[in-house]
Amino acid sequence: MANKLPLHILKIGGAVVDDAPLLQEALQAFAAIPHAKILVHGGGQAANDMAKKLGITPVMLNGRRVTDQATLEVVTMVYAGWLNKSIVAQLQALDCDSLGLSGADLNVIRASLRPPKPVDYGFAGDIQAVNTERMQWLLENKVSPVCCAITHNKEGQLLNTNADTITASLATAMSKHYDVSIYYCFTKPGVMVDPDKPETIIPEINTESYRELKAAGIIKDGMLPKLENAFDALQKGVDQVIIGSVAAIHPESGIAKTVIRR
Q: State phi, psi for 86 to the nearest 5 degrees.
A: -65, -45
Q: Give the nearest distance from C-beta 136 to its own copies in angstroms.
A: 12
Toward its own copies, which CB reaches closer, 84 or 165? 84
Q: How many helices (H) and strands (E) does the chain have?
A: 9, 14
Q: Give the nearest distance from C-beta 11 to its own copies in angstroms.
A: 20
Toward its own copies, which CB reaches closer, 132 or 157? 157
Toward its own copies, which CB reaches closer, 96 or 242? 96
Element (H, E) at 18: none
Q: Give the nearest distance from C-beta 99 to its own copies in angstroms.
A: 5
Q: Give the nearest distance from C-beta 169 to its own copies in angstroms.
A: 18
Toward its own copies, which CB reaches closer, 53 or 117? 53
Long-range contacts of 175-178 (CB under 8 A, 24+ apart): 175/236, 175/237, 175/238, 175/239, 176/132, 176/237, 177/4, 177/7, 177/132, 177/136, 178/4, 178/5, 178/6, 178/7, 178/36, 178/139
Binding site for its own copies (CB under 8 A): 50, 53-54, 73, 76-82, 84-86, 88-90, 92-93, 97-100, 102, 104-107, 137, 141, 143, 150, 152, 154-158
Amino acid at the residue 194: D
